Every structure is written in C-alpha cells, then in structure tokens.
Amino acid sequence: MKHLRSIPELGVDGIVRILGLANHMAEVNRRPVPKVPALNGRTIVSLFFEDSTRTRISFETAAMRLSADTMTFSVSTSSVNKGESLKDTIETVSAMGVAAFVVRHKTSGIPWQLSEWTDASIINAGDGWHQHPTQALLDSFTIMSTLGRSPSSDCLKGLTIGIVGDIRHSRVARSDIQAFTALGAKVVLVAPRTLLPPEVEAWPVTTSSCLDEVIGEVDVLYMLRMQRERMNEALVPNLGEYSARYGLDERRSKMLSEHALLMHPGPMNRGVEMLIDPASMPNNMITQQVANGVSVRMAVLFDVLGGSETGAGVVS
Amino acid sequence: MREEQTINIRGGRILDETTDAQGRLADVHISGGVIAEVVEAGSKLPKADIDLDVSGCVVSPGFVDLHVHLREPGREESETIETGSRAAALGGFTAVVAMPNTEPSQDSRIVVEFVRSQGERAGLCEVIPSGCITVGRSGQALAPYSELRDAGVTLFTDDGNGVQDPLLMRRALEYARDLDITLAQHCEVSSLTVGAVMHEGSCCSHLGLPGWPAIAEELMVHRDIELVRLTGSRIHFLHLSTERSVEMVRRAKAEGLQVTAEATPHHFTLTDEALRSFDPVFKVNPPLRTPADIAALKEGLRDGTIDAIATDHAPHASHLKEQPLDQAPPGMLGLETALALSLTELNMETQSVLAALSWNPARIAGVGDRHGRPVAVGEPANLAIFDPTHEWVVDRDVVASKSKNTPYHGRTVRGKVRHTVFAGQVVVRDGVAQR
C-alpha cells in the first residue's frame, strides 16, 4: 500500500491486514526493549498543521520503535508563517528525501492534494471533518482484541456500537463508521439533528436523537468530543443542554449493559460529554485505545513503507 | 485605427433568429464593418481581402457572454482583458459582459471606462463593463447608477456576493426601474454558506466538506421574484444551479414578471461527485450540484425558462487554485469550451443553443442592436463560424486564457469555432487568434 489516506481506500482486506500486523507489533511492544530495525534508514516527517498531542506522539513513537528517523514539521516555526504555500512546502521537504509524510490538516482532502505534489507516501493523521483512518484502525483493534477475537472481515460481527455526539464535524466518526461496518458491526449514531451530517439517511447506520433510548442496547459506547467552539454556530442551545441530553453521567452509566465498552478518541471534555470519571467504569477502554494506537501506527508505517504481510523483519 | 477588411464567407449554413431550424446555405460578403451582401450559395461575390471557405460550418451571429471575470484591473496574474478577450474570440464570442468584482470594483465611471477602453485596445470582442449594485460590492450603499448608465452600463450586479439586505435590494430595484437598467443577482444567502466548499448533499456529507445548500440560492431567488412583483422592476438571475430555482423562475415568467435567467455549462455538465478528487479546479460558486439539478437546468434551457448560457469564466492562477479547498478561490474557465459543451450535452436544436448563446443574452445585456443580429444585409458583422461536428479534446495547456483552471482537461467534446468576425474583422481564423 502506497498511502493510507482513508478507510474506503484501504478496504476491508487492508483493514484486516493492518489488524493482523498490529497483533505482531503489540507483541514487539510487550518486549523489554520494544524496538526493531524494520524501517532503519527511512525518514518519516510529521506535518502537523493542526494541534495534536496524542496522535503526533503516537506516530513518532511508532516510527522510532521501527527504527525510522523522524522529523517534526511544526507550522508555528516554519516558513508557512512567512506565506510559503503548502505545495512549495511539501516539494521543498520532499527534496530532502522523505519516505513518508504523516499529515494532519484542518481541511478535508489535503492528503489527496499532497500526493499530487510528492512521490513520498502520505499517511493521513486527520483531514478536516473527513478521515482519521489510524483512529478507526486502533478503535477496531481495541474492540477486537478486548473481545479476544482474531482479525477477519467479520471480527466485529454481532456488535452494536453507539457513537454519541458531534458526528457532523467528526473525522473520527466518519472513519469509525466505515471501519466498524466493514468488519460487521451495526452502528447507531446518537445526536441532535443539527450535529448529524447532511443526508445521513444514505449512511449504513441507524440514528437516534435520544441517548436514553439507545444506551442500554449498545455493546460499545463511543463518546465524541463536543467542541466548545460549536456553541457559536447555533447547533445546540448551550453546553448544559447538550450535557443533559447526551452526556455520560452517573444515571446513564448505570443504564449501560455490564459488558459494554466505553471509548473516547480524546481529548475528553470533562463536564461536557463526560460527566463522570471514566476511570470509575469497569470497561473503560480509553487508555487502552492510546496504547493500541502505537501498535496500529507501527503496523501502518510498516505496511506503507514496504513491509511484508507476515511482519517478517519485525518478528523473528 | 485598423485598416478596413473585406471578407467573403462561402459555403456555410446560416443559422440565426430569422431562419428555420435547418438554416439556409448562403454566401456572405462583408465590407466596412457590416454585412454587405448575402447571396445564394455559389453565386458571384465581390473580390475580398479574405476568402473563407466554410463548407460544413454554421454561420451564426456572434455569441454574447453575460458573465465573465476578466480580472483587470487588480488580478492581472490570472487574466487580463486582452487574454480574456482572446479566449472569448476563440470561443466564438463577439461580446462579453465583464463582472464588476475587479480591484477597484466597477462602481465608478473611471473604472468602467478603463475596462471598456482596454477591451477596445485588445480589439478581439466588445467588452461590456457591468456596474455594481452597491458601492464596492459591500452591500451597504447603492452605486451611482445614473453615472454608470451614462458611461454605457446597462447590467448591474454585485456578482460574487448576493445583495443580502432586502431593504437595499428593494430600493435598488425601485431606483433601477426609473433608469431602465437591469439588475443581475448572484443568489446566495451568505449566512447559510459560511465556509462552504461544495454542494450540501450526500457527497459533501461523505467528504466532510462544509456544504453550500440549495436553499441558500432558492431563498434569494424567491425573495427577488417577490421584490420584482412589488416594484415592477426587472431582474436577471446569474448562474442558476438548482432544480427549485428553475421552477420558481418558470412560474414567475408564467405570471408575466420581468425575470430572465442564465445557466453555465459547468452547472449542466458536472456534478458534486467531481469533488471526490479533492481537486480545487472543481470548486465553484454556486457549487456543482446533482444529476436532478442538471436535468432541471437542461429542461429550463429547452423550454425557455432559462434564457441564456453564460460561462461565469473565472480564471485563477495556478498558485491560487493549488491550495487547500477552503482557501482556493472558486471558479473555472468557460469561454473556450461553452459552445462545444452546449452542443455536446444539451441535446437541443443547434438554433435553440444559439438563441441561448447569442440573441437572447444580447438583449439582456442591452446590446441587441449590434450583437445577436440576423445574418442579413446592413447588419453589423459580428459572426461566429463553427463546425458543429468536429470532435476535439480539451487541453488546459493550450488555452488562450492566462490561467489553466478548466475542469474539462482531457474531455472529448463536439463543436469547434473556426472563425470569428468582430466588427467586420476576422479576429479568429482557422482556430487561431489574429491579434
């Protein structure tokens, strides 16, 4: 695979392949010295045009554990602030001999535009409201491995996954929905109409505007971050009303079935969508998601930069 | 001044408003800027400086584009009046209406006269400056209509922006009525399109791009139809893009209101699906819409609800277009492909296509005395001569426009302009601009 730009481009076979590789990488990460020489001498550049903590550090950790050389391009100190265009920037950095760019940008479609301007591989670390494929892969991996299942095209079969919150502006939701349904899960979106995407009827999901009606039936409760900036756009009356209808509070946490997993892509807005301490929940997966993120991103980098399906070169 | 040309045009099929749909074979002699003789095909004509054998071609009145952005003054990196005029002539246009969103805007006599004189200097087609509805197109105060009309402006628009304030629009229509000028509206309720990149629908939903909903256009079409009813004035709707807009205009016309409308080739040939490539060349305002909207626009053109095909020719230099989708400016080239796309995609009689490209827009632009005229003795010699069957492939690297942002690169189309005669001069000969 040359690029990882979106879940649909990766396809179900690709998803299963990455999940399988991630199992190998998780094994590496359990070693006393979690580092292998697989990508020795390859240069990976993080191009983050939008703030990120966990995704950038997760990718950089993954790259270092595969012995790649990593560089970070930080917009605040770059020539972008001198008015250099995105095209000139990527062409300039490419000329230094880069194997892959890990890219985050506030605008949808940037990974496709960049791949017209460079021969390097493009790994999408989030573009606008569009895609965040490694998040979907690590979420799928987390659910699959927690349930003790093996990578296959129906490894999430029989599960109902509820995604709650601002679906409209969420690249996590778009990618997750595609990955979860590709792997056999049913997805129900829970949000007011104003936070659902246009023409959601065409999506392979069901929808509900009432969390109380849905919460007891989900095997996974996936809470999205509710951004405070959205309050200026007349999407919901105020954060208090949003919390009251869609926040996870004490009462709702008791409505969850015992086996249900709690997930969140982070960063959490405590007091908005998360009104209890998730650490108090027995099936809180949030930290596990972050840990799995490193394994999954190692799998992606390895796959994109010419690794083999069996992980040869990583696991002996 | 240029030396006077005499021209013979032999073997062509004349198609204009007065012929039947088949047209008629006839030869034409041009002298002194006017059509001096029209004779039975093969008859003797006076000697001429230029002899054009145009057998197999249609000889039509030159086309009139109600909607072009020539970028001068202010954005000469993307287009100049000269390069845009050349693109127009190659597309068979003998007159173009230059939109007022220049820098400075065309809201004063001096800017309008500059645009007109640059057009005359280029000498490839008539460049008709439009004027602004509001000063600086900022929607705050009325532009000086009388001053601009005295400088020859007949069409007024804030194109690129819709006039948001209903009070201001009402006053503009009332004031315009006294002056017998036409206001042209870019229909977009801007609060509904903040940050919009593409049509709001299933495709934008999937791509996670901010949507430009059809209702943002339709609300303003509806409002302005009601204001026309109230004021007794007239309005022209620029670049209609939605099914319901077409239906509202159809009903307004049936009620006898003075409403005219145009549609662009890109809106009746491309859909929002093109944005799946994330190529900003497909970003345009209003956005590319759905197959149902295309069907409605085509039907509107067929039944006369939509009077004119206008290109909204909007050149942008590569470095402006090659940006993230939210920053790339909207717009695409249109002048050199309009005829071919219309002939290829509309499934209409050629004469009906020419009505929408020539004599209808000539009247809306207020130049019906010299453009869109029948090919007859004594008429001004503004002609487009094209081969309706010639197939060719659009190539962005050979366009006459200064910019390359055509969305049709690589597309095979049918119908090619061979020669263009403007003011009695051959300005395009065998597909090559002569100036």
Residue B135 CB contacts under 8 Å (≥ 6 apart), including other chains: B105, B107, B141, B142, B143
**B175 or A228: which carries more pLDDT confidence?**
B175
Note whether A12 contacts B: Cβ–Cβ < 8 A. Answer: no
Q: Count CB atoms within 10 A of the CB of residue A228.
A: 10
Rounded to an integer, what distance in angstroms lies between the CA atom of residue A22 and that of residue A296? Answer: 5
Residue B392, class by beta-carbon neighbours within 10 Å (0-12 exposed, 13-18 middle, 19+ buried)? middle
Q: Are strands B383-393 and B412-422 parallel, antiparallel or unpaired?
A: antiparallel
Domain B6-59+377-433 has CATH 3.40.50.2020: no
Q: Identify the helix (H) or strand (E) that includes residue B209.
A: none
Inter-residue contact B90 to B428 (CB < 8 Å): yes
Note whether B200 contacts A: Cβ–Cβ < 8 A. Answer: yes
The domains of chain A are located at 7-131+292-304, 133-289
Cross-chain CB nearest to A107 (options B201, B204, B326): B326
Q: Could you tell me which of B432, B428, B336 has the C-alpha nearest to residue B382? A: B428
List of chain A residues whose C-beta atoms are within 8 Å of the C-beta of residue B319: 85, 87
pLDDT on residue B1 = 46
Structure tokens at B115: 């645009």
Cβ of A108 within 8 Å of Cβ of B205? The answer is no
Inter-residue contact B95 to B64 (CB < 8 Å): yes
List of chain A residues whose C-beta atoms are within 8 Å of the C-beta of residue B326: 106-107
Note whether B276 contacts A: Cβ–Cβ < 8 A. Answer: no
Residue of B nearest to A172 (CA): B208
First and final C-alpha spacing in chain A: 23
User: Which member of B65, B158, B293, B312 is catalytic?
Assistant: B312
Instruction: State the best of A107, A122, A229 to mutate against chain B, taking most chain B CBs within 10 Å.
Output: A107
Q: Give the burial string for B2-14 (b: 16+ CB within 10 Å, else e).
A: eeebbbbbbbbbb
pLDDT on residue A275 = 95
Structure tokens at B94: 């003998």
To the query of whether residue B312 is one of the catalytic residues in this protein, the response is yes
pLDDT on residue B3 = 65
The CATH code of domain B62-364 reads 3.20.20.140
Cβ of A128 within 8 Å of Cβ of B209? The answer is yes
Cα torsion angle, B89, B91, B93, B96, sign? negative
Instruction: State the best of B192, B197, B276, B278 to mutate against chain A, taking most chain A CBs within 10 Å.
Output: B278
Cβ of B201 within 8 Å of Cβ of A131? The answer is no
Structure tokens at B319: 């470095």
In which region does residue A96 sit, left (phi positive, over 0), alpha (psi from -120 to 50) or beta (all else)? alpha
Q: How far is CA A65 from CA A35, A60, B230, in A?
A: 4, 9, 73
Segment A90-122, tens digit of pLDDT: 999 999 999 999 999 999 999 999 999 999 999
pLDDT on residue B304 = 98
* Adjacency order of strands within the sheet including A121-127: A69-74, A43-48, A100-105, A121-127
pLDDT at residue A292 greater than cutoff 70 = yes
**One-letter-per-residue 3-state SS of A33-79:** CCCCCCCCCCEEEEEECCCCCHHHHHHHHHHHHCCCEEEEEEHHHCH
Cross-chain CB nearest to A199 (options B205, B323, B325): B205
DSSP string, A90-106: HHHHHTTT-SEEEEEES
List of chain B residues whose C-beta atoms are within 8 Å of the C-beta of residue A91: none
Note whether A131 contacts B: Cβ–Cβ < 8 A. Answer: yes
Inter-residue contact B126 to B96 (CB < 8 Å): yes
Cβ of B277 within 8 Å of Cβ of A112? The answer is yes
Residues in chain B: 435
Alpha helix locations (H) across B303-377? 318-321, 338-345, 350-354, 360-364
Cβ of A112 within 8 Å of Cβ of B278? The answer is yes
Cβ of B209 within 8 Å of Cβ of A108? The answer is yes
Same topology for domains A7-131+292-304 and A133-289, yes or no?
A: yes
Residue of B nearest to A195 (CA): B205
pLDDT at residue A147 greater than cutoff 60 = yes
Note whether A80 contacts B: Cβ–Cβ < 8 A. Answer: no
Segment A190-221, tens digit of pLDDT: 999 999 999 999 999 999 999 999 999 999 99
**Residue position matching structure tokens 């099914």:** B243
Beta-bridge mates of residue B8: B29, B51
pLDDT classification of A307: cutoffs 50, 70, 90 = low
Cross-chain CB nearest to B278 (options A87, A109, A203): A109
pLDDT classification of A234: cutoffs 50, 70, 90 = confident
Angle between the N-to-C axes of helices A110-117 and A86-94, in degrees from 0 to 180, rounded to the nearest 10: 50
Distance of CA A167 to the CA centre of its chain: 14
Q: Identify the helix (H) or strand (E) that includes residue B89.
A: helix B81-90
Cβ of B205 within 8 Å of Cβ of A197? The answer is yes
List of chain B residues whose C-beta atoms are within 8 Å of the C-beta of residue A198: 200-202, 204-205, 211, 213
Rounded to an integer, what distance in angstroms lies between the CA atom of residue A54 and that of residue A135? Answer: 11
Beta-bridge mates of residue A103: A47, A124
The domains of chain B are located at 6-59+377-433, 62-364
List of chain A residues whose C-beta atoms are within 8 Å of the C-beta of residue B322: 85, 87, 113
Query: A151 vs chain B: nearest CA distance in angstroms?
Result: 26
Angle between the N-to-C axes of helices A7-29 and A54-65, in degrees from 0 to 180, rounded to the nearest 10: 60
Q: Are strands B34-40 and B24-31 parallel, antiparallel or unpaired?
A: antiparallel
Angle between the N-to-C axes of helices A133-146 and A286-304, in degrees from 0 to 180, rounded to the nearest 10: 120
Model ipTM value: 0.93
Inter-residue contact A275 to A250 (CB < 8 Å): yes
Cβ of B209 within 8 Å of Cβ of A202? The answer is no
pLDDT at residue A311 greater than cutoff 80 = no
Note whether B103 contacts A: Cβ–Cβ < 8 A. Answer: no
Note whether A5 contacts B: Cβ–Cβ < 8 A. Answer: no
Residue B332, class by beta-carbon neighbours within 10 Å (0-12 exposed, 13-18 middle, 19+ buried)? buried
Cross-chain CB nearest to B208 (options A129, A200, A203): A129
Rounded to an integer, what distance in angstroms lies between the CA atom of residue A263 and that of residue A241? Answer: 22
Q: Which fold has domain A133-289?
A: Rossmann fold (3.40.50)
Distance of CA B345 to the CA centre of its chain: 17
Ordered mean pLDDT values, 10 residues apiece, chain B (435 residues): 84 98 97 97 96 98 98 98 98 98 97 98 98 97 97 97 98 96 98 97 97 98 98 98 98 98 98 98 98 98 98 97 96 98 97 98 98 98 98 98 98 98 98 97
Active-site residues of A, by number, are 54-55, 82, 104, 132
Strands (DSSP E) found in B250-315 = 259-263, 308-309
pLDDT on residue B408 = 98
Residue A239, class by beta-carbon neighbours within 10 Å (0-12 exposed, 13-18 middle, 19+ buried)? middle
Domain A7-131+292-304 has CATH 3.20.20.370: no
Structure tokens at A134: 């490694």
Cβ of B207 within 8 Å of Cβ of A108? The answer is yes
Cα torsion angle, B239, B241, B243, B245, sign? negative
pLDDT on residue B13 = 98
Structure tokens at B199: 């049509």
Cβ of B208 within 8 Å of Cβ of A127? The answer is yes
Three-class DSSP category at B251: helix
**One-letter-per-residue 3-state SS of A236-282:** CCCHHHHHHHHCECHHHHHHCCCCCEEECCCCCCECCCECCCHHHCC
Q: Could you tell me which of B195, B193, B194 has the C-alpha nearest to residue B212? A: B193
List of chain B residues whose C-beta atoms are within 8 Å of the C-beta of residue A202: 202, 205
Rounded to an integer, what distance in angstroms lies between the CA atom of residue B414 and that of residue B112? Answer: 36
pLDDT on residue A309 = 55
Residue of A nearest to B279 (CA): A113
Note whether A284 contacts B: Cβ–Cβ < 8 A. Answer: no
Inter-residue contact A71 to A46 (CB < 8 Å): yes
Cβ of A198 within 8 Å of Cβ of B205? The answer is yes
Q: Are strands A43-48 and A69-74 parallel, antiparallel or unpaired?
A: parallel
List of chain B residues whose C-beta atoms are within 8 Å of the C-beta of residue A197: 205
Three-class DSSP category at B95: strand
Query: A206 vs chain B: nearest CA distance in angstroms?
Result: 16
Residues in chain A: 316
Cβ of B207 within 8 Å of Cβ of A113? The answer is no
Q: Identify the helix (H) or strand (E) that includes residue B47.
A: none
Three-class DSSP category at B92: coil
Note whether B201 contacts A: Cβ–Cβ < 8 A. Answer: yes
Segment A28-69, tens digit of pLDDT: 999 999 999 999 999 999 999 988 888 999 999 999 999 999
List of chain A residues whose C-beta atoms are within 8 Å of the C-beta of residue B327: 107
Rounded to an integer, what distance in angstroms lies between the CA atom of residue B182 and that of residue B192? Answer: 26
Cβ of A198 within 8 Å of Cβ of B319? The answer is no
Rounded to an integer, what distance in angstroms lies between the CA atom of residue B289 and that of residue B266? Answer: 10
List of chain A residues whose C-beta atoms are within 8 Å of the C-beta of residue B279: 113
Cβ of A110 within 8 Å of Cβ of B208? The answer is no
Phi/psi of residue A301, nearest 5 degrees = -60, -40
Note whether B323 contacts A: Cβ–Cβ < 8 A. Answer: yes
Residue type, A130: H
